[in-house]
Amino acid sequence: MVRVGVHVSIAGGIANSVARAKESGCDAFQIFSRSPRGWGYKDLTTEDVQEFRDALEHSGLNPAVDHMPYLPNLATSREDMSGKSVGTLTAELLRCGQLGIPFLVTHLGHHTGESLEDGRKRVIRAINSALDHADNRTMLLLENTAGEKNGVGSRFEDILAVMEGIGDRSRTGVCFDTCHAFGAGYDLRTREGIEETFNLFDEMIGLREIQVIHCNDSRGELGSGLDRHEHIGLGSIGEEGFYQLLRHDLFRSLPLICETPVDERRDDLGNIAKVRDLAGDLPRDE
C-alpha cells in the first residue's frame, strides 16, 4: 500500500491540521507551520506544541512534513533578503524540532542574474548557517524545481552540488516533486522515461537521499519550466504516467504528498483516492 496525503491548513491552531489530515483520509500530511505569505510570525506556545504532539501521536499519521514559506530566497545576492531568508530557515528548523516534525522542505531559490554557480554557493552558505543554529534532528529536504528563469535546483546536478557543500550531510535529503521534474525536462510519462530519470538520479545523487515525494501532475508540457500543479492523471504526465510511477519501488516505499488543486473537478479526498486507485490497479497489457 502507498502512503499518501495532502497539504492541510493550520487555521484555528496548528494542532487542527492533524484532524484535517485525518478527515481527508491521509496517511501522511504537510503543513506550513505559520502563514506562508509574510515574514512575521508568532512563536509557538507550550500549549501549541503539546496539543500538536499529542494529536499527532494518537493519529497514526506518519510523517508530518513542514514546508518553508513562500518569501525566503536562499540564492539571492541581496544582503537584506538573504539575512531574512536564513533567519526564516533557522526558525522553521527550530519550530520543527519543537513540534517533533522530522522533515522541512525548502526550495533553493533564484539567483539574481549572476551565475548559477554563485547562486548555489549562496544556498550552501545559507543552509550551513541555519543548520549550525538549529541543532536538532529535523532533516532539511531540498526540493527540485521546475526550471524557472534563474532558478537553482531544477537539474539534478544543482542539487548534488549543494548537497556536497553541506557540512552535516546527515541533516539533508531530497523532496522529489513530479510536476517540477517534468517541467524541468525529465519525462515521467512512460516506464522507460521513469526508469531513465530515476537511474540518472541514483547515479548522480542516490535514491536513498529522497525522503518525501510531492505527487503532482503538471499543467505545463515537458520541459516547459512551468510550476503549475494539476490533479493526478488530468495533466501532462497523465494517468499512464502515474500508473507507472506508482509501480516504482520509490513510490511504494516513501510518503507521497499531493499539492493538487481543490476545485469543481476534484478535491483533496478525490486526489488521494485517485492515487490509491492507480496504485492498486490490476496489471495492464504491456
DSSP codes of every residue in 187-212: --SSHHHHHHHHHHHHHHT-GGGEEE
Q: How far apart are CA 84 and CA 87, in angstroms?
A: 5
What count of other Cβ atoms lies within 10 Å of the Cβ of residue 18?
25
Per the DSSP assignment, residues forming a β-bridge with 218 are 229
CATH architecture of 3-279: Alpha-Beta Barrel (3.20)
Please give the helix or strand (H or E) that residue 37 lies within, else none: none
Q: How far apart are CA 112 and CA 233, in angstroms?
A: 35
Q: Which of 105, 62, 84, 75 is nearest to 216 (CA)?
A: 105
**pLDDT tens digit string along 236-261?**
999 999 999 999 999 999 999 999 99
The pTM of the full predicted model, rounded to 2 decimals, is: 0.96
Q: Which of 142, 169, 44, 49 is nearest to 100 (CA)?
A: 49
Which residues have a catalytic role annotated?
A: 37, 67, 70, 107, 143, 177, 180, 214, 227, 229, 259
Q: Residue 286: what pLDDT?
A: 47
Q: Which of 128, 68, 75 is nearest to 101 (CA)?
A: 68
**pLDDT tens digit string along 113-122?**
888 999 999 9
For the chain, the residue count is 286
- CA angle (237, 262, 154) in 5-degree steps: 40
| CA 215 to the chain's CA centroid | 9
Q: Which residue type occupies 66?
A: D
Q: Residue 1: what pLDDT?
A: 84
Q: Residue 112: what pLDDT?
A: 85
- CA angle (171, 176, 182) in 5-degree steps: 155
Q: How far apart are CA 60 and CA 28, in angstroms?
A: 9
Please give the helix or strand (H or E) that residue 271 lies within, else none: helix 268-279
Q: How far apart are CA 94 and CA 83, in angstroms?
A: 17
Q: How far apart are CA 193 and CA 190, in angstroms?
A: 5
Buried b (16+ CB within 10 A) or exposed e, 193-223: bbeebbeebeeebebebbbbbbbbbbbbebe
Domain definitions of the chain by residue range: 3-279
Phi then psi for 217, rounded to 5 degrees? -80, 175
- Given a cut of 70, the residues of the chain with pLDDT beneath it are 281-286
**pLDDT tens digit string along 143-167?**
999 998 899 999 999 999 999 999 9
Q: Which of 99, 97, 131, 79 is nearest to 10 (CA)?
A: 99
Phi then psi for 103, rounded to 5 degrees? -130, 135
State the cell numbers at 180.
Answer: 517540477
